[in-house]
Amino acid sequence: MILFAMRKRNKTFKLLIRLNYKKVKKMNKKDIKIAYFAGAMKKGLDGVTRVLYRLTDYLNENEIDSIFFSAIIPPKEEQPVPMYEVPSIAFPLYKDYKLALPGYAFFEKNMKEFKPDIIHINSPCSLGSAAVKYGNRHNIPVVATYHTHFASYAKYYNIGMLENFSRNYLKKLYNRCEQVYVPSKPILKELSELGLENLMYLPHGVDTKMFSPNHKSDLWKKELNIEGKVVLLYAGRLVWEKDLKTLAGTYKIISQKYPEAVFALAGDGPVKKDLEKLMPDALFLGYQSSENLARIYASSDIFVFPSTTETFGNVTLEAMASGIPPVCVREGGAYGMIKEGITGLIANPKDEADLALKLGLLIENEKLRKSIGLNGLTYAHKQSWDNIFDSLFSNYKKIINNYNIIHIKSAA
């Protein structure tokens, strides 16, 4: 009798697994319902939001059902997909960001009505942590993208003691996710060494229609009264964690040696006034829309990016897609897409002299600039957003499949 019951139970379990496999095999993009959680959804705020808004385009193009939760969202008429704002407080280190209040009570009702198949967090902040707890408690698989190297930020704000705490917190949080997508191989290696599990390399893409050499404008330099100058462009937020003190030191060296060179900074942030004092002859272009930034990239000559805290460095790939050679540093994620001397140059991190040396090679050699720019352009054209998001959704299906089987087995 006992043997008969065990056989019947095993047959039922096998049937459930077969049915589950059959269901997932037929599942396509339109069948998956995703709940996304992000620290901010203010369009154009930073590299993360630009990636997420490109994702919303993909979701709409493929008629995929999704909702977004964030502490900062645009007005309803500007939302490309349904978005919900969660209560938050001001972020003391940077006024453009907010910290969501802890817990999932603020989004639980919406989540129960939406019934997502999978949860995707895009920030390890309090909101991301709450989403992980909600998913674990309600048996919904949670995945994450490692967008921001928060632990490395601590030392830039004189709170270095929090660095180890941050790393331990991130390890605990991300190891509760079924998958963690990491956009660059250097950061993937670093996270693996720190003990993070379930890591998957999934790079970011670039819109090669938006960012293209075709947007080059001879009038741009004329408008800024820098005709005949070699423009060294930095694009990104003006914050110390982008290693802008290194940039300022490099500026001083280049200005003394190469009068034909001029620095231009596209972006805004809390340290702008400090940088204006450190780089008095540099051009501070302020915040730029994607359309204006595309023109600036293509009309510049060299891209310089000293940041050691990037997980990827979208701006580097955008510069490559615009046909200009990038110079990055050998720390963080930005240099991961560069082949030294082929698609860009790589300097030592936090080394003003070496960064100036690498920039000098390109300032002096227009032929080398064009050669590296062309190679970078070829590389950028291989980084299609559609292919990358297709890989993401293929992994979603795999995660949902495996998660369901595990829970069927647990229940059996």
On average, the pLDDT of the chain sits at 89
371 and 295 within one domain: yes
149 vs 159 pLDDT, higher one:
149
Residue 24 lies in a domain: no
Q: Which of 51, 320, 327, 316 is nearest to 212 (CA)?
A: 320
> Residue 18 pLDDT more than 50?
no
219 and 143 within one domain: no
Q: What per-residue confidence (pLDDT) applies to 340?
A: 97
Containing structural domain, residue 70: 29-205+385-411
Residue 343 lies in a domain: yes
DSSP state, residue 351: -
346 and 304 within one domain: yes
Q: Burial, 213: exposed, middle or buried (Cβ in 10 Å; 0-12, 13-18, 19+)?
A: middle
pLDDT digits 0-9 by tens, 74-83: 999 999 999 9
257 and 142 within one domain: no
155 and 225 within one domain: no
> How many domains, in total, are found in the chain?
2
389 and 298 within one domain: no
Residue 15 lies in a domain: no
Residue 34 lies in a domain: yes
296 and 172 within one domain: no
pLDDT digits 0-9 by tens, 82-93: 999 999 988 766
The strand pair at 345-347 and 283-286 is best described as unpaired
pLDDT confidence band for 8 (50 / 70 / 90): very low
pLDDT confidence band for 312 (50 / 70 / 90): confident
> What is the rounded average pLDDT of the residues 34-59?
93
228 and 170 within one domain: no
293 and 326 within one domain: yes
405 and 313 within one domain: no
90 vs 363 pLDDT, higher one:
363
Q: What per-residue confidence (pLDDT) applies to 17?
A: 47
290 vs 357 pLDDT, higher one:
357
Residue 61 lies in a domain: yes
Q: What is the CATH number of the domain that holds 366?
A: 3.40.50.2000
Residue 166 lies in a domain: yes
243 and 157 within one domain: no
Q: The tokens of 17 are what?
A: 């697994």
Residue 10 lies in a domain: no
Residue 56 CA to residue 46 CA, distance in Å, equals 16
Q: What per-residue confidence (pLDDT) applies to 16?
A: 47
DSSP state, residue 104: S
174 and 77 within one domain: yes
Residue 66 lies in a domain: yes
> DSSP secondary structure string, 174-230?
HTTSSEEEES-HHHHHHHHHHT--SEEE------TTTS-GGG--HHHHHHTT-TT-E
pTM: 0.84
Q: Cα angle vertex 60, ends 54, 61, to 5°?
A: 90
